[in-house]
Amino acid sequence: MVIQQPSGQIKLTNVSIVKLKKAKKRFEIACYQNKVQDYRKGIENDLDEVLQIHQVFINVSKGQVASKDDLLGSFDSTDLDSIIKEILTKGEMPLSDKERQTMMNKINNEMLTIISAKCINPKSKKRYPPSMIHKALQELKFRVVVNKAAKLQALEAIKVLIASQIIPISRARMRVKVSIDLNGNSETIEKVSALMMGPVVNETISIWSCTALIDPVAYRALVDLCNGKGVLEVLDMAVIDS
């Protein structure tokens, strides 16, 4: 006698599971672990490359597929792609101790590399090696977490390091070039100039152009000022010798 697998059950093995609890129900998707991280970083956008099976489950290990009523009741939709994307973005992925340690090491190394590239010793104008940054963060008891991008954690760590000055450290300045139409933009040019350090200005009959250093925290303000009025170019993300 052949025993039929119950309807709504799919058996999977050797999977990484991303879980999300919503409206008091738990939903799961079966994925390739490394691809989940690539998706969250924006490196991988093809769901078929991330998922082991294009399906939403109530319980992956038991092969219990989520019904349309379950999906509609919790997500107000039965569109699998949109639901899967939400689970991928917001869900948790339990890891074994070995997987967690490997992931922690990878994120920590990426974070330290980013900090080393973006920061300098303001006295020597030199970058710190990742090993020295790591030691400083250990003394400050800064904790790396698995479920947050290395870049975001690097920015948080930079704020902590600068605030504590456990080592002399500051953000390296950026070198930018701004070009703005002179006609009717005198106020904008004045505001842009106030953010510039050591500006080199060139003007034609119609265009005001300036190359200068800026504090990285001023970059967003420059973007807003230039929006629709000029062109902002980043010439160097981190100027070491200024």
CA angle 176, 187, 184 (to 5 degrees): 100
In a domain, 211, yes or no: yes
| In a shared domain, residues 20 and 67 | yes
Integer Cα distance of 10 and 5 in angstroms? 8
pLDDT at position 10, please?
A: 53
- Token couple for 18: 């991303």
pLDDT of residue 241: 63
pLDDT tens profile 95-137: 777 878 888 899 999 999 999 999 999 888 889 999 999 999 9
Q: Is the pTM of this model over 0.75?
A: no
Give me the domain span that covers residue 121: 97-170
pLDDT in tens, 196-223: 988 888 888 899 999 999 988 889 999 9
Domain contains 11: no
**CA gap 120, 108 in Å, rounded:** 19
| One domain for residues 103 and 163 | yes
* Domain termination site, one of 50, 74, 90: 90
Last residue of a domain, one of 170, 196, 218: 170
Residue 10 located in a structural domain? no
Pair 113, 146 in one domain: yes
Q: What is the CATH number of the domain that holds 111?
A: 1.10.10.900
Give the pLDDT score at 5. 41
How does DSSP classify residue 35? H
Name the stretches of the chain with pLDDT < 70.
1-14, 241-242
Are residues 206 and 181 part of one domain? yes
Out of 119, 140, 170, a domain closes at 170
DSSP-assigned letters across all residues of 69-117: HHHHHHHS---HHHHHHHHHHH-B----HHHHHHHHHHHHHHHHHHHHH
CATH number of the domain within which 22 lies? 3.30.1250.10
- The structural domain count of the chain equals 3
